[in-house]
Amino acid sequence: MEPPPSAWAFGDPTAYDAFDDLVAIGADLEPGTLLAAYRHGLFPMPSGTPGDPMYWFSPVRRGVLPLDGLVVSRSLRRSCRDYEVRVDTAFADVLAACGDPSRPQGWIDDDVRAAYLRLHELGWAHSVETWRDGELVGGLYGVSIGGLFAGESMFHRARDASKAALVGLVERLRDEHAADRLLDVQWSTPHLASLGVVEVPRGTYLARLRRALPLPRPARLVRTPAEVRE
């Protein structure tokens, strides 16, 4: 479901400051604004100070995970056998776990949580979850637009549970359009690099984004809004 268009304009992403990841401040978190931002290569994060306007980032060096580059160690492969992977059966729970205020460097506040719940209700935000013995033990969530999956956050309560969710996500993105799909993780970290995440310049990311957006969303990932409400 395409929401009403945003009242805000994000300009030409190729003209953003070439040396600064932070490219905009302000706007809102309406569904149309969020989708417009992702289509321009941006994503939001709170400043960390209550009452401040939203910050919007387009990293100079963007972290992406090539779908043919995921590193699955022998131990991770064994761990994956212990988990059941589901899609969109506990989106709110995954979001809450990712936004647990006790987590170090947590950034998901009430406004962000409400915004992505709304995107999920409209069919644009999705969770990939790992379950064991009927218990949610890990997962991730992100935004899917065409051939783009923009990962936002992940969590685990059992060993390798978030990594298993990532393995499940990549499996669901691998289809006949996999070569042009784009799995965005925002910034690379040593942990993500160990899983195969690489950094690409902003210009390269934007070019890949233009190729990815017109693609159909992956059938094995997306559920309709009616299914989500069931």
3-state secondary structure 71-92: CCCHHHHHHHCCCEEEECCCHH
Q: How confident is the model at residue 105 (pLDDT cuts 50, 70, 90)?
A: low
Q: What would the two tokens of residue 58 be?
A: 């387009």
Residue 49 has pLDDT above 90, yes or no: no
Give the model's pLDDT for residue 223: 59
Give the model's pLDDT for residue 228: 44
For residue 178, give the nearest of 72, 66, 70, 88 by alpha carbon. 66
Quote the strand ranges of the chain, DSSP E: 22-25, 43-45, 55-57, 61-64, 84-87, 125-132, 135-145, 148-156, 182-186, 198-201
Count of CB atoms situated within 10 Å of the CB of 166: 27
Q: What would the two tokens of residue 150 be?
A: 């923009």
Residue 150 has pLDDT above 50, yes or no: yes
The percent of residues above 90 in pLDDT, for the chain, comes to 87
The answer to whether the Cα torsion of 194, 200, 201, 207 is positive or negative is negative
Q: How confident is the model at residue 104 (pLDDT cuts 50, 70, 90)?
A: low
Give the model's pLDDT for residue 6: 96
Of the listed ranges 25-29, 33-37, 105-109, the least confidently predicted one is 105-109
Give the model's pLDDT for residue 47: 87
Helices (H) and strands (E) in the chain, counts: 8, 10
Q: Tell me the average pLDDT across 58-70.
A: 97
Residue with tokens 């195969």: 196
> Exposed (0-12), middle (13-18) or buried (19+): which is 107, by Cβ within 10 Å?
middle
Give the model's pLDDT for residue 1: 87
